[in-house]
Amino acid sequence: MKKIAILSLLLSLYACKSETPKENNTQSFPIMQKSPEFNADSAYFFVEKQVSFGKRIPNTPAHIACGNYFVSYLKNIGWTVTEQLFDATAFDGKILKSRNIIASWKPENKTRILLAAHWDTRPFADQEKDEKLKTQAIDGANDGGSGVGILLEIARTIANTPNISSKVGIDIILFDSEDYGQPDGTNAENYKQDTWCLGSQYWAKNKHTKNYSAYYGILLDMVGAKGAKFYQEGQSMQYAPTITNKVWETAKALGYQETFVAKQVESIIDDHVYVNQFAAIPMLDIIEYEPSDKSYFNKNWHTLQDNMQIIDKETLKKVGQTVLQTIYNETE
């Protein structure tokens, strides 16, 4: 799915790594316009719906069917949908028939907020300890599914209660082919750069609308597991410190400060890196992080245990409400 930027061959590209977590003293961002309630039951349904299609791996029927569902659903609730079809080349040379799905609310508005998550799933469980299991594909309920589930619920909520600033438009991008990166353990001299996040790399260089830009972006990744904690990731603090602080202060105002921990941690290679570097849009990453764990992510990351059993409605609620409130704080 992505790697911590601590490998020596990556340091020149990702220079904002924090050696140790540190406290971040932020200014206060009061809640200005109370948002609607985020429905965690509905978000859970959307995660479960994705998993029901099967493994959403490019070039598979499950991937096509799930993508078609996203497009149909978003259109039906009133969002303008653009499909960005492209061929991506995986680390092993395989051509991945890929599809970024962009949904826009009030597309005529020039001031825009960008929300994103990836919707594909890992084709191999390379973090399994049993070698026999490493070649099996994962469900991706948390890694991929949770972020998309929250965004679909945000889209539904906005469509039903659109009392947001008339000057603000919102774009939701479901990035494809994020999780087909080169597995860990590969010999360093054979390691290929930028094999992760192929959908965001493509979109950042080929935006769906000419001269598209956004005020800021929020990326969601692995945001549904029970007990998850979210720290301020290094790239987010380098490229998007203002909105990162704003999101964490909003979470604090909602009473979620134990889940959204205001400490900066290492940089992570994820879709926001390419949006920041190639598209020049300040984007932060809300992603589960485990400072004391060797994998840095949820213990079920890239394993067969990334399934619906680990998805927690309380975590979905905290993340979804925080993002929704952040959007509704934007005023005229």
Note whether 259 and 321 are within 8 A (CB). no
Phi, psi of 268 (to 5 degrees): -125, 135
Per-residue pLDDT at 330: 84
CA distance linking residue 122 with residue 178, whole number of Å: 9
Parts of the chain with a pLDDT under 50 = 5-23, 25-26
Tell whether 13 is covered by a domain.
Answer: no
Q: How far is CA 255 from CA 32, 199, 280, 318, in A?
A: 16, 34, 32, 9
Contact 101, 67 (CB under 8 A): yes
CATH code at 60?
3.40.630.10
Angle at 62 between CA 60 and CA 63, to 5 degrees: 65
Domain that holds residue 139: 22-328
Q: Are 298 and 228 in contact (CB under 8 A)?
A: yes
- What are 110-128's pLDDT values in tens digits? 999 999 999 999 999 999 9
- Is 136 inside any structural domain? yes
What pLDDT score was predicted for residue 163?
72
Q: Give the pLDDT score at 132.
A: 95
Identify the bridge partners of residue 261 per DSSP, sorted by sequence position: 231
How many domains, in total, are found in the chain? 1
The arrangement of strands across the sheet holding 230-232 comes to 22-23, 260-264, 230-232
In a domain, 15, yes or no: no
Residue 16 lies in a domain: no
Q: What element of type H or E holds 198?
A: helix 198-205
In the prediction, which pLDDT does 83 show? Answer: 98
Question: With left for phi above 0 and alpha for psi between -120 and 50, is residue 302 left, alpha or beta?
Answer: left
Q: Is residue 8 included in any domain, yes or no?
A: no
Task: Return the pLDDT at 332.
Answer: 52
The answer to whether residue 200 sits within a structural domain is yes
Q: Look at residue 146 in the predicted model and tell me its pLDDT.
A: 98
Structure tokens of 31? 């809640």
**Does residue 11 lie within any of the structural domains?**
no
Say if 9 falls within a structural domain: no
